[in-house]
Amino acid sequence: MTFAQLMAKEHHALESARLLPRAGDADGACNRAYYAMFDSARAALAAGNPTAEMAAAKSSAAP
């Protein structure tokens, strides 16, 4: 995934994390906050080394 795609995922997860507590879903909010941070970190790594993200995706898809 590209930097822009990862940041879009991060933004979506962060918005969910903000909304879920109002619906009484603290566990879901924690989950979404975790993935917002995770996708943000992946985006930072991809920005610093674009081929590293592609290599990681290929290695995780290998059997």
| Residues 6-47 pLDDT 10s | 999 999 999 999 999 999 999 999 999 999 999 999 998 888
What tokens were used for 38? Answer: 């995770």
Question: Under 8 Å CB-to-CB from 32, ≥6 apart: which residues?
Answer: 13, 14, 16, 17, 20
The pLDDT value given to residue 12: 96
Between CA 33 and CA 23, with CA 10 as vertex, the angle to 5 degrees is: 45
User: Among residues 33, 37, 39, 49, which one has the least CA distance to residue 4?
Assistant: 39
Q: How confident is the model at residue 51 (pLDDT cuts 50, 70, 90)?
A: low
Q: What is the pLDDT of residue 7?
A: 93
Torsion 38-41-43-49 (CA) sign: negative
Spell out the domain ranges in the chain.
3-61
Quick check: 35 and 13 in contact, CB under 8 A?
A: yes
